[in-house]
Structure formats: C-alpha cells, structure tokens
Structure 1
Amino acid sequence: MDLANLSAFIAVAETGSFSRAGERLHLTQPAVSKRIAALESQLDVRLFDRLGREVGLTEAGRALLPRAYRIIHELDDTRRALTNLQGQISGRLTLATSHHIGLHRLPPVLRRFTHAHPAVTLDIRFLDSEVAYDEVLHGRLELAIITLAPQTLGPLRAVPIWDDPLDLVAAIDHPLARRENVRLRDVACHPAVLPGDATFTHRIVSGLFESTGLSLDVSMTTNYLETIRMMISIGLAWGVLPRTMLDDQLCALRLPGMNLSRRLGYVVHTERTLSNAARAMMRLLEEDTGGLHDPLPRR
C-alpha cells in the first residue's frame, strides 16, 4: 500500500475536501484525486462518496481510517526512534498551542529554541486547548502547549509550566465595579461573557458557581480571550480573564476567599516515541518551572 496515497486518504477524510487536502499536502486537487483513485484501485473498494462538493467516507473508508492512522503513526514512530539514535535535534516538530499562550507565554521560549536548534522546522498550529488535547490523544500531534484539563488521564501526561491566576472582571463603569463589597451572588445577577462551555476555563468558572448553588447567566461565548476583554471593557458583560490581561479599562472583582487559577503546560502521549526536537522543547519549557518536573522517560 503506497504511503503517499494513504496520507492523501487521511487528509481528505479529515478535511472533507479534496481541495483542502491538497492545500494541506501542498498538492493540486487533481494530484490528490489521482492518489485516492490509485488507493481505491489497489484496495478494490470505493472510499469516498462524492456528492457535488460534499465528500464523505463510505463504509469501507470508515473501516480503513483507524487502520490508516495506525500505519502512518507506526512509520512516524519508527523514523523518530531511528533519528533519536543519531542524537540529532533536527527535522520537523509539529506542536499546537492556544492563541493566548502563543501570544503571551511562548515567544521567549520559541526564540530560545530556534536560536539553539536552527535545524528544526517548527510547525505551530493554533488550536483551542481541548482540540489540541484530542489531537495529541489520537497521535496527530507530538506536543501541545495548552490550558491543562483539571484532570489528565493516561495515556496522556500533562506537565504544568505556568500558574495562570484568573480574575472575575468588569468594565470600570460597570455596576459591579462600583460596589464596595461584591459577593458571588451579586455577580450571578449580571450577564457574563465566557469561553465556550466545552473549554477547560469555562468548566473552572461554572464549577465555582455550581459549588455555591448559583447559576451563570452567559449572554455570549467566544474562545478568544482578546475578544472577551474587548466585550468586557465596553460594558457588555462581566467575564473571567487571566490577571496578566487586565488594563486600566478593567476592574478585577475581589471576592473574599476566592482564588481562581488555571494551569498552563504541555501534554504528550506516553506511548509515543518523542523526537529529539520535542524533548528539547520540553526541556526549555521546564526551565521556567525551575526544573521541578522530571523529564519524560526515554522510550
């Protein structure tokens, strides 16, 4: 089975489009179609239903997809293991990060990494933390630098790098900002703008309210914290932001006894052979923790 054809099959299955698969693989759409046709000919089955512009997996395609992932991942794993034996820190490192971490936490680390390891090509994908977590879980990414889940279960390993204190925030002229003593039930009476309810940050906030028997009045959701900051600053709602994002247009609501925080760090798959480049990135990240975390064991 031709691996190039198999990679094209995975790309079409994931994107739902021959043209988008071509963009991902840096191929023309006819070249992608030719590879899929060759694979279908090899296997003597139809892998995709083509209904106008819609592309969907057939029953045979759905059966092939998990097997295709295993074949590609096994080959990648073998390549990394052999490259690691040479001790080289080179090749392509594909990692994901959230927009917030990519803008506010990663630049110094990436600068040191690129200076120290110029032979590595960085492929950085900006994804929601929950999506990146899933990509690592299914072996499509080596490393994700994200907001960590409240609990991470095997086969993933999460290493916290930064503590990220969160504040309930309102515009400086919001009714909540003008109160001397703000309680959580006062906040619950006003609409909020928060990240989507599937995000780890939303779960932290909703858990706080649920623990006291209060419900959230969420009027808007967006996963871009810069957009949330703008909506809060013009008085549309209160929200929750990392303390590092507060400015003179915002007022942190100091509630007695309340300390909200989330952990930012990296996630890897413990059953995957990591490249030397990924390990080098992990070491740089862990320098920010003072070396408190043991490195991932070699495989």
Structure 2
Amino acid sequence: MEINQLKAFVTVARLSNLTRAAEALCLTQPAVTAQIKALEQSLGLALFERSSRKMAITKAGEQLLPTAEQLLSLATQIKTTATELQGELSGQLRLGIPGEHLDFLRLGELVQRIHHGLPLIELETMIMPADTLSEHVATGQLQAAFIISPHPPLDVFWLPIRSVSFRVAVPVTLYPQLKLGGWQELAQLPWLDGPLGSHIHYLLRDLFERRGLTPRVIMHNDSMAHFDTLVRAGAGCALIREEIALQGAQKNHFAIWGHAKADALLGFISANENAQTPLIMALVSMLKDIWSLDSTINSI
C-alpha cells in the first residue's frame, strides 16, 4: 500500500469520475486505474464498481474511505513538519561557562529555551577558566561562552549581561587577626584561589598587586562556585560573589572584610565571524529576553 494509491482511491471516490480524478491528480487515466487496482489487490477487496460512465464506490470502499482520508491527512502533516524542520537549526552547540553557580548564569532558563526553540540542537557545556574560554571561542573549539572578566575581551563578539562584584570573605576563626591589621595582614592569611587564567585568579591578584602585595595562596580550586563552603569550613579566605557573601555573613558563616570589592562583568562571547550566524543570533535573542537586556548593563 502506497500513499499515491490511497490518494487515487480518495480522489476517485470523491469525484466518482475517473477522467476528472486523473485531471485532479495530474495523471493519465490508465495510471489512476493502475493505482486503484494495485490498492485493491493489496487489500483483497473491490473498492469500486466500474461502468462506462462512472466508478461507484462499493460498501467496502465506503467503510475504508474515512480511514484512507485520515492517513492522507497524517501524511500531509508529516510532510509539512518535515519541511519546517528542514529550515531549523541543527547540530551541536559547544558552550563554555565559568566556574560559577549555574543559577547565577541562568543556564537552566537558557537550556529550556534552546530545547523548545531549537529542538534539533544538542547542547554541550564545558567549564573552563576565562583565558581558556576566550581562546577556545577564538579558535572555534567553542561556538560561544559565558565569561566573567574585569574588562570586555578583545577580538571577539561581546554581549555584556550584568556587572558583578566580589567581596573578601574571611573564616570566622581567622577574622580576629584582622581587627588591628590591614592589607598586609590580610595577604598573609591563607587564601583560596581559582585556577590560573580564571576570573577569580585575575581579580584576586589585581586586588593585592595594586597595593604591592601578593596573597598567600594555599589552594587552587576549579570549583569556584563552592568557595563559600570552604571559607565557612575555615579552609582560608576567598573572593566570593557579593550576593552570596552578604548572605553568608548574615548567617555568621564567615565574615566580610571591610568594604573592599573586586568588580567585573558577566558577558556572552563568540567569534566575530560567527556573530551573524543564525545560531548565535538566536542565542543572543534568547539571552536578551532572559536577562531583559537593553542598552545598559544590568546589575543586581
């Protein structure tokens, strides 16, 4: 049984005339007759009673006609959907992200929008330091990335999303040592740092180097999203995103030292040559909607 056979059956049944049915199908009468006969042989039933003037549908044909019409309708829907899908984006999206909380990046919202808006895209995320993210985007190993940086990166497409500040978090057990001290005493305390090339690494170094000091780093940790847990446990001091630092200080999980801040920007990057591709343009549109972006940089 073939779709063309069902189409011939339904058309002849509706028009009750072989000549008109052939015209409607843009086929010759013998071709329509052959399709009807092939369908009847496949079903083992006579679908029409033939005469010199018309083809009258049999009782068996009348019972099968509604099902045949439904099948043709479904076939049309499948073809329409397939045509629509041919115009949709497909393939893999390699998206880089920094070692931060996923809810801060609103990654869940983006994944949901990609799933519904770009159903043929397979998303793969990779956590990397800021330097590596920029390098992999520039070389095409990543199609796009979120990045946290003190300044917009050069030679890539850059969509600023929001400003972000980091505060100096100190374990409760170490904080008394700083009551009478300053930056020099702070630098001598044990510090937790991000991996080389990460946003935390650059911000921490800059914070102290501007004062001619170097922090005493005892640990480099890729999972910067969990620095608050380590500080709370007394492992050392760390730069923690301001929202989390304030919450932790309120709960007496750790202390915030002074009013020192390290400021940066969260943004979305892709290679310049990819910025106008349909996929990146779709992602940018989604991000603007998720973050309610306008001409200014959002801050919280």
TM-score range, shorter chain: 0.5 to 0.7
Distance 2:177 2:109 in 1: 38
Amino acid at match of 1:261: D
Quick one: which amino acid aligns to residue 143 of structure 1? A
Q: Residue 198 and residue 95 in structure 1: after superposition, are their counterparts in 2 closer, same or farther (change >3 A)?
A: closer
Distance 1:177 1:123 in 2: 45
How far does the alpha carbon of each residue in 1:210-230 deviate from its partner, in whole angstroms, 9 at most, with x for none? 111222111111121144333
CA separation of 1:250/1:271 partners in 2, compared to 1, >3 Å: closer, same or farther? same
SS at match of 2:164: strand
Q: Partner amino acid for 1:290? A: L
Residues 153-164 of structure 1 aligned to structure 2 (within 5 Å): 153-154=154-155, 156-164=156-164
Partner of 1:231: 230
Structure 1, unaligned runs of 5 or more? 1-85, 295-299
Contact 2:194–2:221, Cα closer than 8 Å, also in 1:
yes
Aligned CA-pair RMSD: 2.8
Matched, 1:292 2:295: yes
Partner of 2:63 in structure 1? none
How far 1:179 sits from its partner (Å)? 5.4
The residue number in structure 2 matching 1:272 is 274
SS of the residue corresponding to residue 295 of structure 2 reads coil
Distance in structure 2 (CA, Å) of the matches to 1:161 and 1:273 = 16
Structure 1 pair 101–265 and aligned structure 2 pair: CA distance change class (3 A): farther
Within 5 Å, which residues of 2 pair with 1:1-299? 88-105=88-105, 106-148=107-149, 150-154=151-155, 156-171=156-171, 173-176=172-175, 183-246=182-245, 247=248, 248=251, 250-256=253-259, 258-272=260-274, 274-287=276-289, 288-292=291-295
Q: What is the number of equivalent residue pairs in this alignment?
A: 206
Superposed CA deviations along residues 131-152 of structure 1, whole A, max 9, x for unmatched, are 2211111112211112236352
How far apart, CA to CA, are the structure 1 residues paired with 2:209 and 2:130?
A: 23
Cα distance in 1, alignment partners of residues 103 and 205 from structure 2: 26
Q: Which amino acid aligns with 1:207?
A: D
More helix as a share of residues: 2
- The 1:193–1:267 alpha-carbon spacing in structure 2 relative to 1, beyond 3 Å, is same
TM-score by length of 2: 0.60
| 3-state SS of paired residue (2:100) | helix
Deviations 1:5-36 (A, max 9, x none): xxxxxxxxxxxxxxxxxxxxxxxxxxxxxxxx
Bigger radius of gyration, 1 or 2?
A: 2
Q: In structure 1, give the amino acid aligned to 2:213.
A: L
Q: Contact between 1:169 and 1:250, CA under 8 Å: does it hold in 2?
A: no
Shift of 1:128: 2.9
Letter in 1 for 2:254: C
Instruction: Report the Cα distance in structure 2 between the residues aligned to 1:91 and 1:151, rounded to whole angstroms.
Output: 29
How far 1:235 moved relative to its partner? 1.0
Partner of 1:27: none
Deviation at 1:268, TM superposition (A): 1.0
CA drift of 1:87 comes to 6.0
Q: Is the 8 A contact 2:178 2:185 kept in 1?
A: no
Match for 1:212: what amino acid? R
Identical aligned pairs, as a percentage?
17
The 1:129/1:249 distance shift into structure 2, 3 A limit, reads farther
Question: What do the CA deviations read for 1:19-57 (whole angstroms, capped 9, x no partner)?
Answer: xxxxxxxxxxxxxxxxxxxxxxxxxxxxxxxxxxxxxxx
Q: How far apart, in 1, do the equivalents of 2:276 and 2:125 lie?
A: 16
In structure 2, the CA distance between the partners of 1:160 and 1:289, relative to structure 1 (3 Å rule), is: farther
- Which position in structure 2 is the counterpart of 1:51? none
